[in-house]
Structures are given as C-alpha cells and as structure tokens.
Amino acid sequence: MQKADCFNLGYIAKLHGFKGEVSLFLDVTQPSEYANLSNFFIEINGFLAPFFVEKITLRDKGFAQVKLEGIDSEEEAKVLLRKEVFLPLDLLPALEGNEFYDHEVIGYKVIDEQFGYVGEVEQVLDYKVNPLLQIINEGKEVLIPLINNLVVKVDRAKKELTVNAPDGLIELYLGA
C-alpha cells in the first residue's frame, strides 16, 4: 500500500496501560464511523505497515483505546508512539454536493464569486475552532475560514471550488 492511495486517519497519541494498548487519536469528523476497524496502516520509517485490531473502544474527544495483534507489551507499543495511521482511500464514502474531504481538494483552483480567481488550494488547515483553506497565488498565501456556506460549489470534474469569501478578505492578502 502506498501513502498516495490512503488518507490519514490520525496518529498513535500515547500508551494505554502496560499490555501494549495504545490511544489512537482519530483526526476525523465522525470518529464513531471507525468504531469497528479491523485493521489499518501505520507509517514506520517511511513505509506503511499493516496492523490488525484485536479490540477498539471509542473514548472522548476523538480518542480510541486500541489493542493490536502482536503488540503485547509497553516496549513493543512505544515504537508506535506519534506514528501516523492510514486507511485506503477506497474506504471513504463518496461525497456529493458541497461536501469534500480535506485531502480531496488539494490542488483545486479557488474561484470567489466576487473576486474571481484566488489561487490553488495548498492544504486545509484543520484547526478545531477555525478550519482554513490555505490558498497560494503566485507565492502569496491566502487563508479563508471554512465557515458555513463559504463553499458554494465543488466541481470535481474541473477541480474547482467556488467560494463566497467575506467582503474584503481576499483583497487583504492579494492587495487587489
């Protein structure tokens, strides 16, 4: 499995007990959708290694207590700390309309209804309080908050996002 064929599910945040269990932070909108995971990949030394889930229990704030097959001690589990966890992209349900996955829109052109062409999506900065679209236009960064109704249209065929940014925001960045 290649990283390009996967999405980041989260990371191993800390040890949980002394018998090899870990706390997995699920960096997703709906952690409950992953309550029955049977396996996932962990990036170790640049490679995705498969791991099989013996037991998973969802906890508060996006964390899950996980027991992995073959990881039976604190020492074995320590190797996994702060490692990223991945799942194949084909496990994601297809989204329609104006909904999108953060990784899906990287490289999309952004068109504002008032301003016009803004730039291309560099990444989605997934801050809990204020997620942002990071857009690059000729080396200049534009940050647009992903507030409700900001994204007017997602055109997957053209790889374009049409947005309705707050008045004057884009001009602050691009000086137009």
61 three-class SS:
helix
pLDDT for residue 40: 97
* C-alpha span between 69 and 20 (Å, rounded): 9
% of residues, the chain, pLDDT over 90: 72
Domain 102-174 in CATH 2.30.30.240: yes
For the chain, where do the domains classified as CATH 2.40.30.60 start and end? 3-91
DSSP state of 136: E
42 pLDDT tier (thresholds 50, 70, 90): very high
List where CATH 2.30.30.240 sits in the chain: 102-174
Instruction: Check: CB of residue 78 under 8 Å from CB of residue 124.
Output: no
For the stretch 135-164, pLDDT in tens is 999 999 999 999 888 999 999 999 999 999
Give residue-wise pLDDT tens across range 63-96. 999 999 999 999 999 999 999 999 998 888 778 8
Output 152-157 pairs: Cβ under 8 A, ≥24 positions apart: 152/98, 152/113, 153/98, 154/97, 154/98, 154/99, 154/100, 154/105
Number of helices and strands in the chain (H, E): 2, 12
Tell me the residue length of the chain: 176
CATH of domain 3-91: 2.40.30.60
